[in-house]
Structure 1
Amino acid sequence: MERNPVGKLLLFGATGDLARRMLLPSLYGLHADGLLPDGLTITGSARGDLDDDGFRAEAKKALDEFLPADRKDEAALSGFLKRLQFQPVDLSDENTFAPLAEKIGDVSGGLAIFLSTAPSLFEPAVKGLEKVGLAGPTVRIGLEKPLGYDLASSREINDTVAAVFPEERIFRIDHYLGKETVQNILALRFGNSFFEPVWNARGIDNVQITVSETVGLEDRAGYYDGAGALRDMVTNHMLQLVALIAMEPPARFTPTDVRDEKAKVFRSLRQIPPEEVPHCTVTGQYVGGAVKGEIVKGYDEELGRDSTTETFVAIKAHVDNWRWQGVPFYLRTGKRMPVRRSEIAIQFKPVPHSMFAGRGGLLQPNTLVIRLQPEEYIELLVMAKEPGLDRDGVRLREVPLKLSLDAEFAGTRRRIAYERLLLDLIEGDQTLFVRRDEVEAQWIWTDAIRAGWAANGMKPKHYPAGTWGPSAAIALTERDGVTWQDD
């Protein structure tokens, strides 16, 4: 597609944790590889009284801490720091925007804004930008999700931004979509002919998506306790994975075509009525236990007070359309799990007749495993015959056909997800960003689940840290004769 790079980038929250860990290292990586437009200036902004030199010193400290050793290059670092400047802004004080506009200067060559801030500051931020001429036709804005905590608050935020920026200049960021393996789902599905004939209800028995974390609250207590696992992980990331697995083939790899097909999936998600919510969802909250041999506290202990926020959720979902009718999508995510893993497991239907049954050969249905992290690989589990003369019967065994992306592309540097997303924001490619109708369809679905929890008075079931969640999560699949992919 045609790219339209801007000449200036503005980072709000430029001294925060996301900027230090992800944004500045990502921008440095793009600079070091010669991918940033020549002359692109990067203006950092936050509350406080830093000047240009102070911000450059802070940026250098962050890069020293978070850049891998093999990426550090003094010449590249010096050139990158020269791109940086700083202007203090208090987003709640409209008088601080005029000096910002003066610092940035002429935006006729294009300006990209990255806004990562509390949702309560979105309205004063976009109004302040508009007032000083930093919201015109050459300006695009990137918004870090989550946008709101339900459909109503999401619409309020989107309306606020839409009053100043049209949809084609709004880039809603879900960092999962910047991950290489997530994009590889599209290549796997639409670049290989042998999957398409069975990628439907006739060929697939069920789909499982697991995103498990070993960490607890860390430094996110304030946000997480108000969000919980459903809002934090399912609405924001896991439903995007569902869409990539379930979407119809787009005619072209363009922002409109790809996002049209994803939006259709979200609109096809079967809404779970209140009376079905207890049977189709499980919520949990971790208590004290052991993770990787280390004794850890329970959620309430970490938080310092009692809470009914869920740290685990499992859902049986359905996509009600022609391709997927009757195929359950099992979603599972939680904190303080035994391992850190993001994985999609697609279990195919068994062969219609086994010719080996009379000779003692037992068949397992084929499974396709797409591992997103920590390793990155695609594995197809297929049946093979064990070597031998078979005089006592045929012995069949499941063996993996494994494509390790880490090994296959060992000579290629793996990029941080934000490198791709920041470059796409700078160049104006919306393919990997989330459109408003996608966001609202996601919230409609998850709001119905929360309403069902409230209607049934459901409280999270406790599970020991270091386990796979409440036992009810196992029952959720085993009622259907399905076992979670935990290997």
Structure 2
Amino acid sequence: MRPATITADHNPLRDPSDLRLPRIAGPCGLVIFGVTGDLARKKLMPAVYDLANRGLLPPGFALTGFARRDWEDEDFAQVVHDAVREHARTPFREATWRQLAEGIRFVQGSFDDDDAFERLRQTVEDLDAERGTGGNHAFYLSVPPGAFPLVCRQLARSGLSRSEGDAWRRVVIEKPFGHDLESARELDAVVSEVFTPDSVFRIDHYLGKETVQNLLALRFANQMFEPIWNANFVDHVQITMAEDIGISGRAGYYDGIGAARDVIQNHLLQLLALVAMEEPGSFDAPALRAEKIKALSAVRLPKELGKHTARGQYAAGNQGGEDVRGFLDEDGIAADSHTETYAAIRVDIDNRRWAGVPFYLRTGKRLGRRVTEVAVVFKKAPHLPFESSQSSELGNNALVIRVQPDEGVTMRFGAKVPGTAMEVRDVTMDFGYGHSFTESSPEAYERLILDVLLGDPPLFPTREEVELSWKILDPITSHWAATGAPDEYRSGTWGPESADDMLARDGRTWRRP
């Protein structure tokens, strides 16, 4: 007997008053290329289950895996089952699993195998008939960047990229989208031959994080911040993504890519755009993207890149109480590799709102702790009616948006120390999601996969945004390529001395989160 159908209206986990992810996908299927990889196992398949568990996928949803493994449908279903059990955010429910499992299929083959794509086309057609997916299918390319063009061409050759009537076909592409401006344009040319611009979804999972979107709410839903969100009051902005891990066996991907291409070009410049952009007329995709493009178009690099950028490689050290090896000692890394594991840059924004306000972006591996944050640091008061000794411990006011972990917002300001003397020092006021809301935030890939199935693109960077980001980064990586090896920094610290010197030249210091 087939299990009872679970609809959004009858799912016991689906609260009608839950406004976090209220939209429900229509009939559709998802094809994942590269289902044997860590991303698919740890993020994509659990996110699909969590969406189903919350009643946000149609009852006939179909999930198809494509890989070289010699699996049957049942083998792949077991892989999905194990991934869900280990990594899903919501509780495991047998009824949800049975319904999802009915729509699971697997196609064995390699990317250059024409016959395999013919089998995939037949599988998709069968699912339309059996599961009522209506010809609506998204293709998730969880594959190495070099395979993007081949897979896209195979989708075109086999007819899988073409839709009929009101049906849709979409493609999801993981970062990095190219390794420089030229390669990004070449890749976009290939993708554009196969899919229309509104059918291409470039994933930046940071834009799916709750606190990144809360940045928009913080700025535009509150009167108290926007009047001071400009060069009259802001001294500088620091955007940090720090990791306490090394390359974690990813030498094949990471060596030759480096920290700047891996993180700054996408995650950090997208955060910069959200911090710096003007208020959009609405939060629909065209309006939001237009303001982000304006902000990125106004970014300017300092003339002396050697003084306003820094890069490094982690050396052996002690982290979390255990000894760790350096980057050049990692498996698969050449002894003379110049790939940076730490990158810091200064950029300026050439418009009225931000004239004279530097934006400092940094990222690195094997740093002091894992943290991603945006710190808006304000200018000091033009006059302090206190003796210098009374406010010697008073720093700049700051607003810090914590993206991960411990998501929330911190405000730093001056307050009087209790006692008879007038002494002012820094204090903090903290808002944490976990303390203020009983609802747990959706995982980023949950939100982004649902947006793909709904055809809702505000959280996905456009071709213009990708190209503008490479235009910003390319001169920096070219400069580094001509200047020898990166500086060394000990694992567990906050990067090379050259990064501290970079800010010291501007009379500033990095935050220590």
TM-score by length of 1: 0.95
Structure with the larger RCO, 1 or 2 (CA within 8 Å, 6+ apart): 1
Residue 292 of structure 1: how far off its partner (Å) = 1.4
Matched, 1:385 2:405: no
1:353-411 deviations in whole A, cap 9, x for unaligned? Answer: 11223783444321111111111110111111122233xxx1112111111112111x2
Matched, 1:305 2:334: yes
Residue in structure 1 matched with residue 374 of structure 2 by the alignment? 344
Code of the residue aligned with 2:142 in structure 1: it is S
Residue in structure 1 matched with residue 188 of structure 2 by the alignment? 158
Aligned residues: 479
Say which of 149, 152, 177 aligns to 1:147: 177
Residue in structure 2 matched with residue 99 of structure 1 by the alignment? 119
Say which of 382, 396, 416 aligns to 2:424: 396
Distance of 1:149 and 1:323 partners within structure 2:
31
1:11-55 deviations in whole A, cap 9, x for unaligned? Answer: 111222111100010000000110112311111111222121111
SS of residue paired to 1:142: strand
Change (3 A) 1:7 1:364: same
Distance of 2:427 and 2:23 partners within structure 1:
45
SS of residue paired to 1:71: coil
Matched, 1:42 2:71: no
Residue 66 of structure 1: how far off its partner (Å) = 2.1
Distance of 1:19 and 1:454 partners within structure 2:
34
Contact preservation (8 Å) 2:240, 2:373: yes
Residue 185 of structure 1: how far off its partner (Å) = 0.6
Could you tell me which runs of 5 or more consecutive residues in structure 1 were left unpaired when the two chains were aligned. Answer: none
Distance of 1:414 and 1:254 partners within structure 2:
21
Distance of 2:207 and 2:456 partners within structure 1:
13
Contact preservation (8 Å) 1:5, 1:428: no
Distance of 1:3 and 1:433 partners within structure 2:
19
Residue in structure 1 matched with residue 270 of structure 2 by the alignment? 240
TM-score by length of 2: 0.90
72-81 or 310-319: which moved more?
A: 72-81
Contact preservation (8 Å) 2:338, 2:484: no
Residue 453 of structure 1: how far off its partner (Å) = 1.6
Contact preservation (8 Å) 1:119, 1:157: no
SS of residue paired to 2:56: coil
Code of the residue aligned with 2:410 in structure 1: it is E
Distance of 1:421 and 1:316 partners within structure 2:
30
Matched, 1:174 2:204: yes
Could you tell me which runs of 5 or more consecutive residues in structure 2 were left unpaired when the two chains were aligned. Answer: 1-21
Residue in structure 1 matched with residue 312 of structure 2 by the alignment? 284
Identity, in percent, stands at 43
Contact preservation (8 Å) 2:152, 2:191: yes
226-235 or 109-118: which moved more?
A: 109-118
Code of the residue aligned with 1:461 in structure 2: it is D
Alignment of 1:32-431 (within 5 A): 32-67=53-88, 71-105=91-125, 106=128, 108-137=134-163, 138-273=168-303, 276-303=304-331, 304-306=333-335, 307-357=337-387, 360-362=390-392, 363-390=394-421, 394-409=422-437, 411-431=438-458
Contact preservation (8 Å) 2:25, 2:57: no
Residue 195 of structure 1: how far off its partner (Å) = 0.7
Matched, 1:446 2:461: no
Superposition RMSD on alpha carbons, in Å? 1.8
Distance of 2:406 and 2:362 partners within structure 1:
19
SS of residue paired to 2:400: strand
Contact preservation (8 Å) 1:89, 1:100: no
Distance of 2:254 and 2:47 partners within structure 1:
25
1:397-448 deviations in whole A, cap 9, x for unaligned? Answer: 2111111112111x21222110000000011100101100000010111111
Code of the residue aligned with 1:114 in structure 2: it is Y
Contact preservation (8 Å) 1:6, 1:427: no
182-191 or 87-96: which moved more?
A: 87-96
Residue in structure 2 matched with residue 468 of structure 1 by the alignment? 494
Contact preservation (8 Å) 1:4, 1:428: no
Contact preservation (8 Å) 1:7, 1:41: yes
Code of the residue aligned with 2:508 in structure 1: it is V
